[in-house]
Amino acid sequence: MPDNRAAPTLPKTPTGIAGFDDLTFGGLPAGRPSLICGAAGCGKTLFATTFLVNGATRYDEPGVFMSFEERAEDLAANVASLGYDLDGLVAAGKLAIDHVRVEPSEIEETGAFDLEGLFIRLGFAVDGIGAKRVVLDTIETLFAGFTDLSLLRAELRRLFGWIKDRGLTAIITGERGEGQLTRQGLEEYVSDCVILLDHRVTDQITTRRLRVVKYRGSAHGTNEYPFLIDHAGISVLPVTSAELDYAVPTGVIATGIPDLDSMLGPGGFYRGSSILVSGASGTGKTMLVATIVDAACRRGERCLVFAFEESGAQIIRNAASIGLDLESHRARGLLRFEAARPSLYGLETHLARMHRDLDGFEPRMVVIDPISALRGPAGELQGMLLRMIDLIKARGITAIFTTLRSDGSLVQDDDLGVSSLMDSWIKLQNMEANGERTRTLYVIKARGMSHSNQIREFLMSSSGIQLVDAYIGPSGVLTGTARIVQEAQERSEARRRIQESERQLREVARRRSAIDRQLEELRASLEAAEAEEACLRAETASRTADDADERRALMARRSAAE
């Protein structure tokens, strides 16, 4: 019979580092040593310090930091900019920092040499504050004077065994070696968990990545994950691609442009959808998006704007020219701008930064303006944009992406397949005719809803954005003054037709009146003729009667004479 009992899980100690605990399903192995390795400047010491600080402040687990390179005061000064008060934690008895000076030239390596003195010193610090967490930074310095690999391996195993016997969750940092994870190549084999940090430079842009090389007794993410180090500390993007199983929010959001809403069947876009606004430079992409953001903030929704070409202050100033007061929304905490040049970070770092900001601000709407400003190899750029879209859609956030298109076509070689990932696509285009340039707008697609397929002229003024019907005739689409002239001609022609129709109606009325008069005359003549006819008939009848009476009288006289 199958055993339905749940399999035992490996106890884990959370690090408190955003994203890292997710990809390791709980953190580092509890009561075991973990190795953090990488080249200089990749963030090993900061990772370890964050592990100790979070343990002391969030999980009530005191820690010991034993440094073989940095002094305690230097370490405290280096992490103070992140808001870590190491001196305060030491004073509160939640953290102990011990600097052990190791000079390889002073070490006399003999077969009887061991780390007993280190164990005593470390054990005293652990017992002094009841530590649950330990950091040794870095192990290469401790073993720099050893040349006997058998002795080094034995002491490493002894050190790791001592940590396990004491039930301490430990981080041991190590420098990256040539062709192996560490210089000695031994720590990675005796550690229960190995984390590799990498700080690479591509096209003069740096990117930090993290990979869990091994994790005994536990499943873990095996890919490379970007991580970010800034004033907020360390944050790791835990996913490389989201599954398509996220919930679909319900409801429709208005754009703040009634004419645009009328072009969409439900009267707006679906909440939680991804919207692409594309167009050449100067077509009004940012102002269109600013209007949608203004409408969202007026509904009381948080909006987060990632700007790669303009500062937040510049966008606010420009939006004021069309009657939008974005500054009031920012003052109320509903609108936040995160502006940075695309070259400031690598692609993955931008993604990690967005992940952290989404979790911190919890917006209902996100704007990325523009995604075409991001630079990198085509494959990496497409993968980053795909993860960005999935990251936002998985949270049910309405996302608006703008992209610069250098021509008027619907498809470009540098599209990177982003348009196919979008739920709706609005295209803005400049049209030049008769010595002037006008803007047009049309909806290329809107999944799940009916939408207008007409081209609308796009006007911006101090009263906002307005869409007007473009003239479509045998000669093509007319916009701007050409549309105005054509409409004036059509109005003049309409007036002429009306006047001609009215003239014809007056002529018909005159003719009808004349005919009516003729009819009245004819009717009067007819009545006269009928009266004359009746009179003649009466006279004839009277004369006939008189003749008959005379004949009868004459016959009577004759008869009497006879």
Question: What are the tokens at 380?
Answer: 């990496």
Of 355, 338, 350, residue with least CA distance to 375: 350
Laid out side by side, the sheet with 424-433 consists of 335-339, 303-307, 365-369, 398-404, 274-279, 424-433, 436-446, 456-461, 464-469
**In 3D, which of 209, 172, 170, 169 has the Cα closest to residue 187?**
172
- Supply angle C-alpha 220, 236, 219, rounded to 5: 5
Least confident range from 255-269, 297-311, 351-365, 428-442: namely: 428-442
CB contact at 8 A, 356 and 391: no
Structural domain contains residue 197:
yes
Does 210 lie in the same domain as 256?
no
Q: Looking at beta carbons, which pairs linking 534-541 to residues 24 or more positions away fall under 8 Å?
A: none
pLDDT level of residue 475 (50, 70, 90 thresholds)? low
| Contact yes or no for 379/373 (Cβ under 8 A) | no
Whether 348 shows a pLDDT value over 80: the answer reads no
What distance in Å separates the CA atoms of residue 176 and residue 38, rounded to the nearest whole number?
A: 5
Does the pLDDT value for residue 317 go beyond 90? Answer: yes
Q: Convert the pLDDT of each residue in 231-271 to its tens digit.
A: 777 877 665 444 556 677 788 999 999 989 999 988 999 99
Residue that finishes a domain, picked among 421, 444, 469: 469
454 and 497 inside one domain: no
Q: Specify whether 177 is located in the same domain as 49.
A: yes
Task: Let me know whether 464 and 489 are in one domain.
Answer: no
Evaluate whether residue 539 is within a structural domain.
no
Same domain, 47 and 170: yes
Estimate to the nearest angstrom the gap between the alpha carbon of 111 and the chain centroid. 63
Residue 3 in any domain: the answer is no
Same domain, 47 and 171: yes
Same domain, 459 and 517: no
> Residue 336: its pLDDT value, please?
93
Q: Mean per-residue pLDDT for 131-155?
A: 74
Q: Is the predicted pLDDT of residue 20 greater than 60, yes or no?
A: yes
Q: Is residue 74 located within the same domain as residue 133?
A: yes
* Lowest-confidence pick of 43-57, 153-167, 255-269, 440-454: 153-167
Same domain, yes or no: 198 and 304: no
Please tell me whether residues 382 and 495 are part of one structural domain: no
Q: Choose between 419 and 463: higher pLDDT.
A: 463
Determine the pLDDT at residue 79.
Answer: 84
Instruction: Please tell me whether residues 331 and 461 are part of one structural domain.
Output: yes
Last residue within a domain, chosen from 206, 236, 266: 236
Q: Please say which residue of 236, 260, 294 terminates a domain.
A: 236
**Count of structural domains within the chain:** 3
Question: Looking at beta carbons, which pairs linking 103-108 to residues 24 or more positions away fall under 8 Å?
Answer: 104/144, 104/145, 105/145, 107/145, 107/146
Residue 105 CA to chain centroid, in angstroms? 57
Q: Does residue 547 sit within a domain? A: no
Q: Which of 298, 467, 292, 465 is nearest to 369 (CA)?
A: 292
User: What is the pLDDT, as a whole number, of residue 408?
Assistant: 42
User: What beta strand segments (E) does 345-435 contain?
Assistant: 365-369, 398-404, 424-433
Whether 222 has a pLDDT exceeding 80, the answer reads: no
Tell me, what CATH number does 350's domain have?
3.40.50.300
Q: In this predicted structure, what is the pLDDT of residue 333?
A: 92
Percent of the chain surpassing pLDDT 70: 82
Range of the domain at 293: 252-469
Sign of the C-alpha dihedral computed for residues 346, 194, 234 and 418 taken in this order: positive
Q: Are 421 and 530 in a shared domain?
A: no
Q: Is residue 162 part of a domain?
A: yes
pLDDT digits (tens, 9 = 90+) for 365-409: 999 988 888 877 777 777 778 878 888 888 889 999 998 875 444
Whether residue 108 lies inside any domain: the answer is yes
347 pLDDT band, cuts 50/70/90, is confident
pLDDT value of residue 471: 65
Query: In which order are the strands placed within the sheet that holds 169-175?
Result: 95-99, 63-67, 133-137, 169-175, 33-38, 193-202, 205-215, 225-230, 233-236
Mean pLDDT of the chain: 80
Q: Is residue 558 part of a domain?
A: no
- Dihedral sign, CA of 471, 477, 480, 485? negative
Neighbours of 318 (CB within 10 A): 15
Task: Taking residues 160-183, report their average pLDDT.
Answer: 76
Q: Is 245 within the bounds of a domain? A: no
- Specify the pLDDT at position 241: 44
Pick from 121-125, 162-166, 406-410, 450-454: least confident:
406-410
